[in-house]
């Protein structure tokens, strides 16, 4: 969301020097044991791995490094090691199952648990996607192609609004807090966290300035600091090359340790920030809607496990034009549902929507709880009506049903808007959850303060097509074309 | 013109001028409204060293790994008389490979001075254009010229291809990967901007000699590696939009005199280098000189301008909304500072006439905010 309320909180953050909360709840489920991955790649290459810190224990990351990232064999060794960690983690989530009986559908089993991958930022998620693309088609007997399929799965899920299977820490933090800096600076994990949890005795603003120095706070990746590349990494890698060329295994081992030390120096600060940010996020209460979204994630996870077990092929290369369009529509639906759910769950989000007129609130000034209407079929039904005075810039959408978070079962529609000298009067018809003429359910009474937001769209069977149906993509031109999309500005 | 050059040189002071490149010309486009950058670039001032001198060193290093990757890919494409490239172009443009020639323009005898090379390039390109013969020719490392703010900028496109149909195409070789036909949009845009500068320079060259500038195609050939390999692919990119933008910014640069006129007497960015070339200019004085020229900071500056840290600090000290980026400024249309925005929201500041609407919206938002507790 980026309405006036967010802007205002940014102003307040700038004035006070501390980040300001944008939400009362956390809207992404966090598991007890996420797999944190901090990947680094070699500059100038699409996806040549330089190293990564990975693991579930903040005190004991698995550190993987590649002494010569351009060497395909060394790359493969890295992927094998990474596969060991990632696939082991994924396998450990496939224990307990639960039975789900959908209304009118076949009962099915789904895992009670699911994996959760946490990376520093969006580019890191993209990098996992590229790594998945690079490895899933490899024709090796080991686990590397399988790693590719899982990484592709995670990168794909990361694009679904509301999914918590693969998350970027900067996304989670910026959803939760407003800082006094720009979005570009918020994308820098060290600067962002500095605003949110500054060291004792300094303001967030001051801490962020300090955190901008890449010497003390190496970039969170996947790209490394160019100065580090030139001054530290390049000499180390060249040393390794020389030792290998000279056929000197002792020197090669020493040189390899040097590269490892260099890369580790860039990984560890970010690794620590990851856990610091995670700790902070865990302190926040989880929103009610998380449970249902996480269940959908577990469903998706279960289906992917099944697909692999059945010997299905890896996710295809291209999105077909039709599938890509369908996928886009699905993502938009997921986005709008996620937003609507957050507004129901979280007063901050609802308030933000009131600034744009998508939600509204005010005081009930009149009510007709006994009002009835005669339907086209001649039946008399209860249609209570209430009038609400609001100062919100309400955008009227006739087809839209609204709900008050305090009365989740009762939906209303806007019947009429009338302006008067002190704001506007909304005439609302209660269209569901009002009970019957004989057994009416109470509606808000005059004098009561009410808030209404859009009713979240229902979950539909086709809402979350599997990645193999609409595979991972960065979004681009239709398949078959060899060229990148035209360079429109 | 000369008086303009003298005035610009005086602004720069005793340092030797930093020339324009396609990248810096394209960079002007990133923030065309910034007078500070326009004047500094027009005068050939060294923004990098100026930034460092006033206490805000920029970080514009490129990784040696990225540079090496670019070099290796270009060498590979151009090896054996650009064999790989010719094959690709034949497919894309319909060149007949037997006829296509490869003409390196790097050296002119022993002398590789820029002006001499530019003249040599001009002669070769004009001959090709006039003969209009069917043979495709690849001109490697041509040296083109473009007038920017009354000065000559020397530009070196990767390649210029001359096609069978009598049209010139600029070829850009970039080492970022195209994966499954998809590529990072930002990188393509940057490449397109640079290529547009070359197209313009080529067109001017032809027009100056009475030839049809439209012979130079607005479709640029982008050569990139595909799918984690070194296999090159060619894409056609339409740069008309970027061409228009470059023209606009050059037109603005040609009016740099108006910007100069607006400057108070005696403003100079002289670094006053000593015998070793180290700057001796008083940093506070230099910073004061910079403050005299209006800037228009935006967070994106840090990707293309060496003064970004300086300008951000200036914007912060002025409590300016610019530090948040143009989107926030746009939403608060007309309100310039954090203090003013909060004043309107909290009702401690009376809105000006044109602020009535945004003031109402801000007060409404602030009421909602305080209602949340
Ligand atoms: S950094 Fe400053 S001088 Fe450079 S373009 Fe931005 S505002 Fe202008």
Q: According to the model, what pLDDT value does residue B109 have?
A: 60
User: B312 C-alpha to center of ligand 1: Å?
Assistant: 9
User: B15 C-alpha to center of ligand 1: Å?
Assistant: 21
Q: Are A158 and A172 in contact (CB under 8 A)?
A: no
Residue B327 Ramachandran class (φ > 0 left, ψ -120 to 50 alpha, else beta): alpha
List of chain A residues whose C-beta atoms are within 8 Å of the C-beta of residue B241? 488-489
> How high does pLDDT run on average in chain A?
90
* Distance between B108 CA and the closest CA of chain A, angstroms: 32
User: A174 C-alpha to center of ligand 1: Å?
Assistant: 26
Question: Is residue A334 in some structural domain?
Answer: no
Do the Cβ atoms of B66 and A43 come within 8 Å?
yes
Do the Cβ atoms of B67 and A44 come within 8 Å?
yes
Query: A319-356 pLDDT, tens per residue?
Result: 667 778 888 888 999 999 999 999 999 999 999 999 99
Question: Is residue A126 in some structural domain?
Answer: yes
Handedness of CA B24, B28, B31, B34 (dihedral sign): positive
How many domains are there within chain A? Answer: 2
- How far apart CA A41 and CA B208 sit, in angstroms, is 47
Q: According to the model, what pLDDT value does residue B97 have?
A: 58
Query: Do residues A188 and A272 both lie within one domain?
Result: yes
Question: Looking at residues B192-217, what average pLDDT do you find?
Answer: 92
Q: Which atom of ligand 1 is nearest to the CA of B35?
A: 8
Interface predicted TM-score (ipTM): 0.90
Query: Do residues A311 and A367 both lie within one domain?
Result: no
Do the Cβ atoms of B238 and A486 come within 8 Å?
yes
- How far apart CA B164 and CA B98 sit, in angstroms, is 12
Query: A79-129 pLDDT, tens per residue?
Result: 999 999 999 999 999 999 999 988 888 899 999 999 999 999 999 999 999
Residue with tokens 């060249």: A238
Query: Do residues A293 and A374 both lie within one domain?
Result: no
CB atoms within 10 A of CB A485: 17
* Distance between A309 CA and the closest CA of chain B, angstroms: 27
Q: According to the model, what pLDDT value does residue B185 have?
A: 80
Residue A484 has pLDDT above 50, yes or no: no
- How far apart CA A315 and CA A402 sit, in angstroms, is 39
- Read off the pLDDT band of B110 (50, 70, 90): low
Question: Is residue A477 in some structural domain?
Answer: no
Question: Is residue A464 in some structural domain?
Answer: no
Q: Choose one of A282, A299, A315: the last residue of a domain.
A: A315
Q: According to the model, what pLDDT value does residue A355 have?
A: 93
Q: What residue in B sits closest to A184 (Cα-Cα)? A: B299
User: B204 C-alpha to center of ligand 1: Å?
Assistant: 29
Q: Which of B69, B189, B228 lies nearest to residue A44, judging by beta carbons?
A: B69
The residue segments making up the domain with residue A389 are 360-454
Top residue of A10, A22, A46 to mutate, by most chain B CBs within 10 Å, is A46
Question: Is the Cβ atom of B125 under 6 angstroms away from ligand 1?
Answer: no
Residue with tokens 């530090």: B323
Query: A160-215 pLDDT, tens per residue?
Result: 999 999 999 999 999 999 999 999 999 999 999 999 999 999 999 999 999 999 88
Query: Do residues A249 and A385 both lie within one domain?
Result: no
Question: Is residue A31 in some structural domain?
Answer: yes
Query: Do residues A272 and A168 both lie within one domain?
Result: yes
Tokens of residue B77, six digits = 């494409």
Do the Cβ atoms of B181 and A230 come within 8 Å?
no
User: B341 C-alpha to center of ligand 1: Å?
Assistant: 24
Do the Cβ atoms of A46 and B177 come within 8 Å?
yes
* Distance between A404 CA and the closest CA of chain B, angstroms: 16
Q: What residue in A sits closest to B301 (Cα-Cα)? A: A184
Q: According to the model, what pLDDT value does residue B134 have?
A: 59
User: 3-state SS string over chain B?
Assistant: CHHHHHHHHHHHCCCCCCCCCHHHHHHHCCCCCCHHHHHHHHHCCCHHHHHHHCCCCCCCCCCHHHHHHHHHHHHHHHHHHHHHHHHHHHHHHCCCCCCCEEEECCCECCECCHHHHHHHHHHHHHHHHHHCCCCCEEEECCCEEEEECCEEEEECCCEEEECCCCCEEEEEECCCCEECCECCHHHHHHHHHHHHHHHHHHHHHHHHCCCCHHHECCEEEEEEEECCCCCEEEEEEECHHHHHHHHHHHHHHHCHHHHHHCCCCCCCCCCCECCCCCECCCHHHHHHHHHCCCCCCCHHHHHCCCCHHHHHHHHHHCCEHHHHCHHHHHHCCCCCEHHHHHHHHHCCCCCCHHHHHHHHHHHHHHHHHHHHC
Query: B254-295 pLDDT, tens per residue?
Result: 788 888 888 888 888 888 888 888 888 899 999 999 999 999
Q: What residue in A sits closest to B239 (Cα-Cα)? A: A487
Task: Give the length of chain A.
Answer: 489
- Read off the pLDDT band of B362 (50, 70, 90): very high
Closest CA relative to residue B197, chosen from B139, B138, B161, B148: B148
Element (H, E) at A419: strand A407-420
Closest CA relative to residue A171, chosen from A123, A106, A229, A218: A123
Q: According to the model, what pLDDT value does residue A479 have?
A: 37
Q: Choose one of A284, A315, A346: the last residue of a domain.
A: A315
Q: Are B36 and B297 in contact (CB under 8 A)?
A: no
Which residue from B26, B29, B35, B37 has its CB within 8 A of the most atoms of ligand 1, so it is best to mutate? Answer: B37
Top residue of B57, B182, B196 to mutate, by most chain A CBs within 10 Å, is B182
Do the Cβ atoms of A229 and B372 come within 8 Å?
no
Give, as one character, the DSSP assignment of residue A435: B
Query: Do residues A238 and A385 both lie within one domain?
Result: no
Q: Are A285 and A28 in contact (CB under 8 A)?
A: no
Query: Do residues A270 and A388 both lie within one domain?
Result: no
Q: According to the model, what pLDDT value does residue B98 have?
A: 64
Q: CB neighbours of A71 closer than 8 A, spacing ≥ 6?
A: none
Percent of residues, chain B, with pLDDT higher than 70: 95
Q: CB neighbours of A109 closer than 8 A, spacing ≥ 6?
A: A97, A98, A99, A100, A302
Q: What residue in B sits closest to A392 (Cα-Cα)? A: B364
Greatest Cα-to-Cα distance within chain A, rounded to the nearest angstrom: 95
More confident: B365 or A458: B365
Q: Are A281 and A26 in contact (CB under 8 A)?
A: yes
Question: Is residue A472 in some structural domain?
Answer: no
* Distance between A477 CA and the closest CA of chain B, angstroms: 7
Query: Do residues A292 and A415 both lie within one domain?
Result: no
Query: A127-164 pLDDT, tens per residue?
Result: 999 999 999 999 999 999 999 999 999 999 999 999 99
* Distance between B164 CA and the closest CA of chain A, angstroms: 22
Query: Do residues A149 and A294 both lie within one domain?
Result: yes
Q: Which of B182, B189, B372 lies nearest to residue A489, judging by beta carbons?
A: B189
Which residue from B35, B36, B58, B325 has its CB within 8 A of the most atoms of ligand 1, so it is best to mutate? Answer: B36
Query: A258-284 pLDDT, tens per residue?
Result: 999 999 999 999 999 999 999 999 999
Query: A387-413 pLDDT, tens per residue?
Result: 999 999 888 777 889 999 999 899 999
- CA A248, A252, A258 angle in degrees (round to 5)? 150
User: B25 C-alpha to center of ligand 1: Å?
Assistant: 14
Question: Is residue A337 in some structural domain?
Answer: no
Closest CA relative to residue A299, chosen from A146, A135, A459, A149: A459
Question: Is residue A259 in some structural domain?
Answer: yes
Query: Do residues A250 and A141 both lie within one domain?
Result: yes
More confident: B123 or A85: A85
Question: Is the Cβ atom of B297 under 6 angstroms away from ligand 1?
Answer: yes
- Domain residue ranges in chain B: 68-175+216-240, 326-372
Give, as one character, the DSSP assignment of residue A378: S
Q: Which of A183, A484, A487 lies nearest to residue B239, judging by beta carbons?
A: A487
Element (H, E) at A124: helix A122-136
> How high does pLDDT run on average in chain B?
86
Q: What is the C-alpha R_g of chain B?
A: 24
List of chain B residues whose C-beta atoms are within 8 Å of the C-beta of residue A5? 365, 368-369
Q: Are A23 and A176 in contact (CB under 8 A)?
A: yes
Q: CB neighbours of A468 closer than 8 A, spacing ≥ 6?
A: A307, A312, A313, A315, A316
């Amino acid at each position: 969301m980026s309405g006036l309320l967010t802007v205002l909180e940014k102003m307040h953050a700038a004035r006070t020097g501390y980040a300001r909360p944008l939400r009362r709840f956390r809207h992404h489920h966090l598991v007890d044991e996420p797999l944190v991955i901090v990947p680094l790649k070699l500059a100038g290459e699409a996806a040549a791995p330089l190293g990564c810190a990975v693991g579930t224990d903040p005190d004991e990351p698995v550190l993987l490094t590649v002494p010569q990232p351009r060497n395909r064999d060394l790359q493969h060794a890295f992927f094998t090691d990474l596969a060991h960690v990632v696939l082991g983690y994924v396998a450990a989530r496939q224990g307990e199952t639960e039975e789900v009986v959908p209304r009118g559908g076949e009962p099915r089993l789904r895992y009670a648990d699911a994996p959760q991958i946490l990376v520093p930022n969006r580019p890191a998620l993209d990098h996992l996607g590229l790594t998945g693309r690079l490895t899933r088609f490899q024709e090796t007997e080991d686990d590397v192609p399988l790693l590719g399929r899982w990484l592709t799965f995670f990168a794909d899920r990361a694009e679904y609004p509301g999914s918590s299977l693969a998350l970027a820490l900067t996304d989670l933090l910026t959803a939760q807090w407003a800082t006094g800096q720009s979005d570009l600076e918020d994308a820098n994990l060290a600067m962002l966290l500095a605003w949110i949890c500054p060291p004792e005795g300094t303001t967030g603003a001051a801490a962020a300035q300090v955190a901008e120095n890449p010497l003390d706070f190496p970039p969170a990746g996947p790209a490394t600091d160019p100065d580090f590349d030139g001054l530290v990494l390049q000499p180390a890698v060249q040393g390794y090359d020389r030792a290998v060329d000279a056929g000197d295994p002792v020197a090669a081992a020493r040189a390899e340790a040097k590269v490892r030390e260099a890369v580790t120096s860039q990984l560890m600060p970010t690794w620590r920030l990851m856990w610091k940010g995670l700790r902070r996020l865990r302190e926040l209460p989880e929103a009610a809607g998380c449970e249902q979204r996480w269940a959908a994630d577990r469903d998706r996870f279960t289906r992917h496990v099944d697909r692999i077990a059945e010997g299905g092929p890896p996710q295809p290369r291209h999105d077909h034009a039709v599938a890509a369009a369908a996928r886009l529509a699905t993502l938009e639906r997921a986005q709008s549902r996620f937003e609507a759910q957050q507004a129901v769950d979280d007063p901050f989000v609802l308030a933000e929507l009131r600034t744009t007129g998508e939600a509204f609130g005010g005081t009930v000034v009149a009510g007709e709880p006994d009002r009835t209407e005669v339907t086209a079929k001649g039946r008399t039904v209860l249609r209570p009506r209430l009038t609400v005075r609001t100062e919100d810039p309400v955008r009227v959408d006739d087809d839209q049903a609204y709900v008050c978070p305090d009365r989740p079962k009762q939906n209303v529609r806007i019947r009429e808007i009338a302006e008067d000298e002190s704001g506007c009067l909304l005439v609302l018809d209660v269209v569901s959850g009002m009970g019957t003429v004989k057994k009416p359910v109470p509606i808000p009474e005059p004098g009561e303060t009410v808030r209404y937001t859009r009713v979240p769209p229902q979950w539909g069977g086709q809402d979350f097509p599997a990645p193999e149906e609409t595979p991972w993509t960065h979004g681009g031109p239709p398949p078959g074309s060899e060229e990148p999309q035209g360079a429109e500005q | 013109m000369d008086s303009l050059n003298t005035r610009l040189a005086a602004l720069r002071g005793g340092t030797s001028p930093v020339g324009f490149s396609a990248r810096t010309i394209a960079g002007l486009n990133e923030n065309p409204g910034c007078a500070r950058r326009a004047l500094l670039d027009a005068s050939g001032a060294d923004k990098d060293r100026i930034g460092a001198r006033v206490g805000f060193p920029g970080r514009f290093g490129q990784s040696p790994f990225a540079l090496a990757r670019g070099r290796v890919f270009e060498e590979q494409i151009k090896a054996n008389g650009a064999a790989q490239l010719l094959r690709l172009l034949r497919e894309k443009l319909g060149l007949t490979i037997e006829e296509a020639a490869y003409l390196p323009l790097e050296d002119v005898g022993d002398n590789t001075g820029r002006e001499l090379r530019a003249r040599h390039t001009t002669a070769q390109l004009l001959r090709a254009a006039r003969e209009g013969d069917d043979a495709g020719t690849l001109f490697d490392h041509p040296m083109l010229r473009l007038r920017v703010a009354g000065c000559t900028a020397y530009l070196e496109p990767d390649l210029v291809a001359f096609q069978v149909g009598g049209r010139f195409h600029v070829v850009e070789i970039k080492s970022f990967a195209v994966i499954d036909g998809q590529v990072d949009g930002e990188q393509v845009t940057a490449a397109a901007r640079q290529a547009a500068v070359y197209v313009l320079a080529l067109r001017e060259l032809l027009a100056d000699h009475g030839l049809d500038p439209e012979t130079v195609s607005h479709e640029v050939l982008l050569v990139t590696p595909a799918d984690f390999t070194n296999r090159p692919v060619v894409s056609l990119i339409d740069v008309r939009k970027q061409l228009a933008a470059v023209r606009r910014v050059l037109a603005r640069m040609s009016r740099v005199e108006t910007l100069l006129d607006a400057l108070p007497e005696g403003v100079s960015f002289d670094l006053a280098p000593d015998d070793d070339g180290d700057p001796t200019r008083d940093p506070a004085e230099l910073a004061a000189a910079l403050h005299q020229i209006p800037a228009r900071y935006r967070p994106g500056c840090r990707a293309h301008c060496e003064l970004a840290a300086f300008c951000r600090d200036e914007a912060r000290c002025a409590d300016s909304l610019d530090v948040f980026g143009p989107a926030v400024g746009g939403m608060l249309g007309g309100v310039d500072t954090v203090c003013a925005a909060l004043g309107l929201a909290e009702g401690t500041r009376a809105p000006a006439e044109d602020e009535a609407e945004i003031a109402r919206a801000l007060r409404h938002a602030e009421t909602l905010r305080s209602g949340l507790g």
